[in-house]
Amino acid sequence: MNFAPTEEQQMVRDMVKKFAETEIKPIAAELDKTHRHPEEICRKLGEMGIMGVAVAEEYGGAGMDNVAYVMAMIEISKACASCGVIVSVNNSLYGFPVKTYGTEEQKHKFLTPVASGQVEGCYALTEASAGSDAASLKCRAELKGDKYIVNGTKTFITNGNVANYCVLAATTDPAAGYKGVINLIVDLKNTNGFKVGKVEEKMGILASGTAELVFEDAEVPAANLLGKPGQGFKQMMEGLNAGRIGIGAQACGIGRAAMEDAINYSKERVQFGKPINTFQAIQFKLAEMATELDAAELLLLRAAWMEDHKLDHEKESAMCKYYASDVAMRAAIEGVQIFGGYGYIKEYPAERHMRDAKICQIYEGTNEIQRVVIARKLLGLR
């Protein structure tokens, strides 16, 4: 058993860490304050291959593996959680289904510009009445000739306000449940009948847009269908497995940022004549953070390795996502506690880490749903 990264993986981690510390972290507070989409960061990450880490070079990616992707995601998310989730969606929720199920023509047309970082992609699954129950979609796609006519509204779509392309989950027959689900690639900038609706005001990840997507008799070419009719739900579940690794890595990065900031502050803050890091109460908090975050990272790397080796990783992806996000939330809470009153004000990053960490327990499948997934796999239930 070898825990050492390969030379290529270490190169990616070092490159992204340097970029994140010099170009992302210095503007993270400004991005949080202004809610500005970090387009210049996305373009530079694209040039580095990070918007499509595990996508083949012929489709604009870096041609690396998912272990390298996890390492890159942790470093980016340490610097800015909003940048982290934008990268995650491009790689996982959008990139995975197009890479895995797309035709050659679809990959060249719709994957290359996203994986190369020229534009953003998104995945439109959630609806007002379909979240954890992903099979109960109301967004309807009716095949008429060589086009699908799409009607429905998607909610809480990450990157939805800035994306050029979308993988849209819809149903051809609501009564058919999961058997009626299909995935369509939609060119959002050139589709009549589509518009961006409300852009949400959120607690955290404020530089990442979360939007409503509205389809009213929108025409999508039938050639944009991913795979075959009836395969959509399976594609969705496999895509979410990949996405959960990305969100787990985002959470781990947030947790590490909270811990490192707390360590640095504990060295500087003096009470009772000595730095607070000399007090056992502070030391124990930091020790617990470090242990849990290391465990979370190991779970993430295992799941990524399993995906790279095309092994069933549904359980492992659920484990790493829920554990890493729970650990990140605990680290963020304790980080605020170590900062004391300063942790509660926006001048310091501790409160931002706490706001950013919370969503990781909710999106890409709530942590309650992750436990259901794990239990079903353990018990052999469908």
At a CB cut-off of 8 Å and minimum separation 6, what does 73 contact? 84, 87, 88, 246, 249, 250, 253
Residues 82, 370: Cα–Cα separation, whole Å: 23
Tokens 């909610």 correspond to 155
Tell me which of 120, 142, 364, 368 is the catalytic residue.
364
The SS3 assignment for 202 reads coil
Query: What are the backbone dihedrals phi and psi of residue 305, each rounded to the nearest 5 degrees, phi first?
Result: -60, -40
Q: For residue 26, give every residue at least 6 positions away whose Cβ sits within 8 Å of its Cβ, in sequence order, or none.
A: none
* DSSP helix/strand/coil, 6: coil
Distance CA 21, CA 190 (A): 37
Q: Which residues contact 46 (CB under 8 A, 6 or more apart)?
A: 52, 116, 117, 118
CB within 8 A of 223, min separation 6: which ones?
Answer: 105, 146
Other residues' Cβ atoms within 10 Å of the Cβ of residue 279: 14
CB atoms inside a 10 Å sphere around CB 2 = 5
DSSP element (H, E) containing 186: strand 181-187
Instruction: Give the separation between CA 336 and CA 334, rounded to whole angstroms.
Output: 5
**For this structure, is 316 an active site residue?**
no
Phi/psi for 20 (5° steps) reads: -65, -40
The tokens describing 220, both together, are: 């999508």
Element at 147 (helix H, strand E): strand 147-158
As a whole number of Å, the end-to-end CA separation of the chain is 32
Q: At what angle do helices 81-88 and 66-79 cross, to 10 degrees?
A: 150
Helix (H, G, I), strand (E, B) or coil at 243: helix
DSSP code for 132: S
List residues with catalytic annotation: 364
